[in-house]
Structure 1
Amino acid sequence: MLVQGETTFEDCLVSLNVLCDVLLTVAKLMYPLPEFVLIHKDESVLKDIESLENFRLNVYKVTLSQDCELYDVELHTEPNYPTLGKKFGVKSIAEKIRQMTDTDIEKLLSKGESESPLIIIDDVPIESEGVHFFFRVVKQTQFEAIAKQGCVVLLDYTADAALKDEGRIQEITSRIQKLRKEAFFYVNY
């Protein structure tokens, strides 16, 4: 017989399961994003992505562009310190790598990784592994930027009440469908 205030191991497990269920189902809500922007120089890549617009994406607006300046996205270079530091005095070379203009960077990227050396700075040959190339958003905007291999993805994470409500509706619908399937309740039309 249990005295009031005492709990059993099973009671603790039930409480933990309820808490876990609440945290996983109520606290974690997702909502659709207002806009997805893809920036790439190659038109064929943009056309391939355009074909995905017919799928059910969790985004209201998909924007494809070749113009980085329109979204204040700039290409930058940073020295790869472990690679350069082993071979040379890194400070002067690193500063020159950081100060490269967009046209200089574009020329380097057009060379490709197979050409050696990639660039010569102060009579020092710099290979492709000595420089990191990356894109970044210059001005603070509503977009979060992710860039890899010449492709820049901007995601708008701002959410108003309507988007959050739609996310809740999607979550509720999804949970109802899962419960229906678990209960083997099939709808016949």
Structure 2
Amino acid sequence: MDRTHSSINSLLEQATCIARRSKEAAGETESTEGYKRRQTEELIKFANDNGLWIDLSHLNITYMDRGGENEVFHDGNVSVVKLNNFEYAGDDLENFFIRIAAHNKFFGNVPYQMIGFAYNSQQEFCAVLVQPYILAEREATEDEIAAYMQALGFEMDYYDEYHNSDYEVFDAVPNNVLYGIDGDLYFIDTQIRLRNRDN
């Protein structure tokens, strides 16, 4: 499938809808663990039906690192490729898609693009994300992160956690936020979730 066509540019939105519809179809009759299993099955079917599997052997990338949810590769030029195993989505994959869309809204200078699906080295089903490779002078400081988040309209809860009326951003620590050689801050790997309205 040609990933330059608009249908592929909306892959994130399509996958979000599939995850949401799958959860709604399950209703209250299924455990929360069942949501994630059903959502994964639907996304695998979606990948099969639309040729959305990414063969990493066909990409000119080099392994960089592995974290709690991502295997990270570099193309040696301008992009980082992340295989995200949905670990931090909890029992509902929609949380992952909400997070990626919110990241792109708030941190648009280092956006994610979802290009398909793959299995990582642990044979876990993953979303394949591409993100710009940032030329960094250093990690951002806590004070720089706090000032940036406050400028976006977020209030600080803890040194690495912030909220506005709709979202919570956490894990905004120096090793997840880079100070670019251009003097801008780049939030490359924070966690974002919808805020509990009871807070």
Asked which structure has the greater RCO (Cα within 8 Å, sep 6+), the reply is 1
TM-score range, shorter chain: under 0.3
**TM-score computed with the length of structure 1 as normaliser:** 0.20
Q: Which has the larger radius of gyration?
A: 1
**TM-score computed with the length of structure 2 as normaliser:** 0.19
* Higher fraction of helix: 1
